[in-house]
Chains A and B, each alone.
Chain A
Amino acid sequence: MQTVLPYIISGISVGGQYALIAIGYTMVYGILRLINFAHGDVFMVAGLIMVYLAASLPLYVAIPLVILLTVLLGFTIERVAYKPLRTAPRMSVMISAIGVSYLLQNLALYITGGLNKNYPQIPWISDRISILGMETTRVTVITPFLTILLVVLLVLLINHTKIGMAMRAVSLDFEVSQLMGVQINTVISVTFVIGTFLAAVGSILFFTNYPGVVPTSGAMPGLKAFVAAVFGGIGSIPGAVIGAFIIGIAESIIKGLDTILIVNGAITEQIGLATFSDAFTFVLLIIILVFKPTGLFGEKTADKV
């Protein structure tokens, strides 16, 4: 157990960070039926904004500003790249999302000169602490709790406010809710604002833990978060969170699987299973798509798959 524990703790932490990104995917998909491929890149841009802001501003100014600017970016992307295509076929919108993703990555490449940027150290949360006999950073421990807190707040917002009701209505039926007088554009904008807000928080936690930002930093976490959303049942927020934790833990354990097996005497030499740490996420995706396309907690609808 002592061998496996560090992997599980690190996996829970990564899972929490994926969860914060996954919520953005699942909410947008729930309402627009759009895989927002640019979401992972927004997460990366949030990291870069932090790098540049923290170079000249104190952290207590930089952090709120990062969140604000990221939210603004998410809002702008929706207005510029997705809104004009609202009546277009779904494929066009998805292509637009891929285009935005391409643009954000190339912009990041240009601004950083293609070099790795070191994420600033945030005091207190990046300190070294010792829990259950293992050394780690404080952010590893904080992440899951913060994630769950934010999710609870979000669920309260969706279930008990007027805008939350509107969001539920739109995700249930886009056209009908429009006819019932729901301000579709406001609802969609709010969805993007919430999604990018959580991605920005996730980005701060993720990059504090893994402090290197490159233009492609967002691509893999983004895809994994999306898979988490599908795994949990797209449109379902608790589903996305649970899916993200499962994927985070599985990924971390696979990276250490060779070692775990060797220490327990199951195998005698490295077999390179760590190669599949990313691919395993997609294996999970395909299994769930084939056997239970609505995901673990998804509602059954005719249109989805």
Chain B
Amino acid sequence: MKKLVSIALALILVFALCSIGYADNPVVKIGVFEPQSGDNGAGGKQEVLGMQYANYLTPTVEIDGVEYDVELVYADNASSNDKAPTAAQTLISSGVSVVLGSYGSGVSIAASDTFDAAGVPAIGVTCTNPQVTAGCDVYFRICFLDPFQGTVLANFAKSELGATKAYCLAKQGDDYSGGLCNYFIEAFGADNCVYEQFPDGTSDYSTYITNAQNQGCDVFFSPVSTEAAAQIIAKANTQALGMPILAGDTWDSNVILAAAKGTDLQICVTTFYQEGADAEFDAGIKEWINSDATALANNGGNDELAAVTVMGFDAYYMALEALKAAGSTDPADVLEVLPGVTYEGVTGAIAFDEIGDALRDSAFVKSCNTETGVWDFVSVATVG
């Protein structure tokens, strides 16, 4: 017994020494404010993958002539608005220079005040609701916004799908689906939309599908989380929905592909990235995902790329650019230079407008191939 204890103690000591001896470079911390559990846990994990891959490719950054090791610090906001402020605070008190995230708009809105109070800049990755950056000086984002995406989707529903009456389904209190539905309805025409919200903890989506059928709708718009999406797809299949399903960027995920495979549904989504646009990047990240069991599991068990992963990748480099431009690891300095930082990312050129939103004017439209279980490219959509 004594031996065991002493061995254990020695091991702990060795580990402790290792962790001290390892740090020869100074460390700059980047906060990862993403959901790892809850409704958006799967999506959050995919977004983090992009950052981790970027960190794997570029683990250091030169700030003001000094080589820094980049350390990603994680905080799980649990997809929950009431846990978000505390998760943000843990990042802030662990001394991060800049924060990336989140997937899902609600948590970003909920935490914006905490970041603001501490003066720590945050770069939203795929939070598309206008409220994230509106009235918050420290929040920036690299994705397009819901008013844009909603309009693109409404135009697509009208002109490409020939829809005249839309059924819109959002989750109650969820700023992502609620916001997107709101802007979709604005663009599509409120009189021709049926808008419903399901409460948190819903397991029965069949009645909503019956509602859409009963009211004679001809497109089913439900930009909800992938968790709900998988169940909606299953129910739509067994209840013979009989109309195309339309959704936003969250649905660009292999969860949807897996759920839709083998059904006779038509599913279209708008998104940030089309696999194949940068073949070299695709090959590299797929190899990395396949070589790392945890990464593979976090991506849902296969190497199908989600657009959010690519966005996470770009966000990481955006943060590095900001650190380089600031020439310092002090959050205040990063915040000062961030509005002027630009970067040519895999998903396109990124620059901020005066509110802190990305200047983006195009989205990819994809449709799900239910036979092979992959996304087919449909078009690049703009609003002009």
A touching B, CB within 8 angstroms:
yes
A: residues with CB less than 8 A from B are: 3, 6-7, 10, 14, 109, 113-116, 118, 126, 128, 134-137, 206, 209-212, 214, 216-217, 219-221, 252, 255-256, 258-260, 262-263, 270, 272, 274-275, 277-278
Known A-B contacts: A6-B210, A260-B214, A263-B214. Give 8 more (CB < 8 A): A114-B37, A115-B37, A136-B239, A255-B208, A256-B210, A256-B211, A274-B196, A275-B199
Among B78, B198, B231, point to the contact of A211 (Cβ < 8 A).
B231
Q: B54 at interface (Cβ–Cβ under 8 A)?
A: no
Among B196, B227, B239, B240, point to the contact of A270 (Cβ < 8 A).
B196
Q: Which residue of B is nearest A112, CB measured?
A: B37
Q: What is the count of residue pairs linking A and B with beta-carbon distances less than 8 angstroms?
A: 98
A256 CA to B205 CA, complexed, in Å: 11
A60 CA to B76 CA, complexed, in Å: 38
Q: Are B197 and A10 in contact (CB under 8 A)?
A: no
Among A10, A116, A220, A272, point to the contact of B227 (Cβ < 8 A).
A116
Q: B230 at interface (Cβ–Cβ under 8 A)?
A: yes
A277 CA to B208 CA, complexed, in Å: 12
5 residue pairs of the A-B complex, CB under 8 angstroms, read A114-B76, A134-B239, A210-B204, A255-B207, A259-B194
A219 CA to B211 CA, complexed, in Å: 26
A259 CA to B211 CA, complexed, in Å: 6
Q: Are B231 and A256 in contact (CB under 8 A)?
A: no
Report B83-123 CB contacts with A as 1/0, cut-off 8 Å: 00000000000000000000000000000000000000000
- Closest chain-A Cβ to B254's Cβ sits at a distance in Å of 13
Among B76, B203, B240, point to the contact of A135 (Cβ < 8 A).
B240
Q: B149 at interface (Cβ–Cβ under 8 A)?
A: no
Report B198-237 CB contacts with A as 1/0, cut-off 8 Å: 1101011111101100110000000000010011001001
A255 CA to B238 CA, complexed, in Å: 19
Residue numbers in A under 8 Å from B210 (CB-CB): 6-7, 10, 256, 259
Q: B369 at interface (Cβ–Cβ under 8 A)?
A: no
A272-B197 in contact given A256-B210, A259-B211, A263-B215 (Cβ < 8 Å): yes
A282 CA to B199 CA, complexed, in Å: 16
The 3 A-B residue pairs whose C-beta atoms are closest, nearest first, are A114-B37, A210-B203, A116-B227
Q: Are B207 and A7 in contact (CB under 8 A)?
A: yes
Q: Are B238 and A274 in contact (CB under 8 A)?
A: no
Q: Are B201 and A210 in contact (CB under 8 A)?
A: no
Greatest chain B CB density within 10 A among A212, A262, A278 is at A212
Please report which residues of chain B, range 144-203, place their CB below 8 angstroms from some CB of chain A when the two chains form the complex: 172, 194-199, 201, 203
Q: Are A220 and B240 in contact (CB under 8 A)?
A: no
A115 CA to B41 CA, complexed, in Å: 6
Residue numbers in A under 8 Å from B195 (CB-CB): 270
Among B42, B204, B211, B214, point to the contact of A115 (Cβ < 8 A).
B42
- Closest chain-A Cβ to B264's Cβ sits at a distance in Å of 11
Residue numbers in A under 8 Å from B234 (CB-CB): 211
Q: Are A274 and B197 in contact (CB under 8 A)?
A: yes
- Closest chain-B Cβ to A258's Cβ sits at a distance in Å of 7
A135-B239 in contact given A118-B230, A275-B199 (Cβ < 8 Å): yes
A212-B231 in contact given A114-B37, A275-B199 (Cβ < 8 Å): yes
